[in-house]
């Protein structure tokens, strides 16, 4: 039987206000939310999982970090998610600066 999980961020279902939004554990919406949660969480913000999330690719611990590293991101993400495989991380630069990161998953 498929397992349901609550959405992240946690919210009510607009079509049925007495219910919460939930997804099947392995559907694409759930996986997209997990990737987004990992990317949007600054490392150290979750007391139980201090290594969850990313170091700010611009500044970290008072020093400039050399930018977003796709291979580092993929390996760090894999330590928390064994049910989501990142198939492609595409870094798009504009005028020499990071403009967008596209992440594809399976």
Whether the per-residue pLDDT at 48 is higher than 90: the answer is yes
Residue 47 has pLDDT above 50, yes or no: yes
In terms of residue numbers, what domain contains 88?
Answer: 4-105
pLDDT per position as a tens digit, 71-87: 888 999 999 999 999 99
- pLDDT attached to residue 10: 85
Going by pLDDT thresholds of 50, 70 and 90, the confidence category of residue 98 is low
- Within its chain, how far is the Cα of 69 from the centroid? 15
Q: How many domains does the chain have?
A: 1
Instruction: Provide the whole-model pTM.
Output: 0.76
Nearest Cα residue to 32 out of 8, 68, 1, 14 = 8
DSSP-derived 3-state class of residue 63: strand
pLDDT (0 to 100) of residue 28: 92
């Amino acid at each position: 039987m498929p397992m349901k999980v609550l959405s992240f961020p946690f919210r009510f279902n607009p079509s049925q206000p007495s219910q919460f939004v939930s997804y099947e554990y392995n559907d694409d919406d759930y996986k997209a939310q997990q990737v987004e949660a990992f990317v949007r969480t600054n490392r150290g913000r979750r007391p139980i999982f201090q290594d969850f999330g990313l170091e700010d690719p611009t500044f970290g611990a008072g020093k400039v970090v050399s930018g977003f590293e796709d291979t580092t991101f993929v390996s760090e993400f894999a330590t928390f998610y064994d049910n989501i495989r990142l198939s492609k991380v595409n870094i798009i630069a504009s005028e020499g600066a990071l403009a967008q990161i596209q992440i594809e998953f399976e």
